[in-house]
Structure 1
């Protein structure tokens, strides 16, 4: 399936609005911190190095989402996987913005922002959820069969309407890296739940009082499990080489690379390589996990952003039926209301059987046995 022109424009507009909202919050924090370096230190857990009017509202998730939304807005207009890209962005938005509905009403938020800022953040959360739902509705309502063309095959833009799937190598790479990343993330969450206790881990999941978060921050356990769930879905799609593999896998790869960048930046800032022999094993594993997420996310982006292959059996793909363009009659299968297909090369043309509206076959044509003589006439009655 592909998207109609109106659905593409609508999806691009919705993704652009989401990108503008995230960019506005990043600009707000950038103006508050005074420099991009200070804001980066805030995102990666370093010493602020600035005097802020209020605590920054954004985390590393916001620039990752900004990159995803900008890419989806562009892909919605011309990409062959526009519908899948809208679905990926919509699901990601709903998964990451849903906790804001109860986090922003937590008691500890009184110490982080004024009522005006909290109200604005709550309106942004509602708007993001509405726009994310709009992306899913647009992807579902704007679908049409891939064989329906608005252009001829020779016209520019015709091939952009043909859905594509990842190649075999890209699909295998996505399945392995995404599946491994999901398993690693879930294993660490199980470790934190056992180490901190179920009550504290539940606050990490919901953003409770024992695990406070920033104004727009997604609770850490909720973020981890959401990324793991989407990674598992993308890995399953990669195993089936589905169209959804590339956009959903790329979106998850951006989040994985962002989380890995935070861990690697923290390790570099703390100069952990100087104390490798003194660090416990768990600290080594945490740093190795961050490095794996950073490198694995970059590899996934490099693999999944390459052009895909046409879907077999789809329009314009091997095994499919070529679309009819301007000046060519549509191909029709023989059936009720249509004449039978013409014989192929190397076979005599089929002659209609004698009947109503057709003359009898010519005996001199040479095809078939000679006609039998007519039977003798019946004697008249009374003989």
Structure 2
């Protein structure tokens, strides 16, 4: 543990010594009704807009205005292959090889497309295992897949639950489930960083466990991409999906990403839904050729890319490429550790951090449980200029994002929380 100190001078000193401090100026920071910058702690829900985003999108609007359809080949960044401008940088963010990554569609659409290929139920092996408190969208998606294949979700959905009186999932319990039901489970599909507790799961451990019992293994990395080092390739996972509007700062509802491990890259026998953008690039526009599957994650594409959304993603990924996940996560661990230190120093028995204290088992989000609280507390924080995130029944989620949050932000956040709780 770092030697954190109390007092605002320590926060100011840390900001002065922060090698990434200047990146804050490259984002638009929202302001309150008095024109003062708010303390924005909800990058885990919607990342802030990079100042460069407007220019990146404007370039495409200009090319569209001046070139029309010929922009597909003659734009400054030709639209025909625009998704390829994102691949290498996105692969670095999620710890994958370029052939394993593609930016396309949105999160849950991609999850369904992955399950078309990797959820292959039989009468005996048909169950899907997820964590009990998975993000609702994941639960809805896997339940609908079970129904689609003729199975009752009440029977087919296996939940990895936290123990009574605990908030975090335990790996021994996962192993117990797989020992008992592994030969009936077709797919293990876990949220890489749990949205509620902030628990960052051990991908490699889960993948090895799932594969040991013959299950396919996938992860929803919505709360992980751009937040933690995912190391997707080394994890051995069969697939992963994520969004880009949280830690990757690409704008509300923007496109998602997909990872398919390279061992599946050339398997044309994998069942999948196809579209013309998953067809061989060399013959795609001959129109009348038989379908010719692209290798790698690109082979799961359906349609030509939505350029304006991809331009916003490119603006953010270019910044990530400058910084690199190594420096980003280093600051993140120190900044969130400072946040944890200040919360603990309050010695307030009504609050408890439910996020793991182990730095390797969390990202930048801390989930703070407040005894006997309701959403009134969230409104009080908002009135005090702190944009946090409330999750029923009694949890405030705060994510000090290393690209644009400062140590002073964290210091003032805890000060405001203390004032409201006393």
TM-score with structure 1 length normalisation? 0.25
Q: Which has the higher contact order (CA 8 A, sep 6+)?
A: 2
Higher share of residues assigned helix: 1
- Higher-Rg structure is 1
Higher share of residues assigned strand: 2
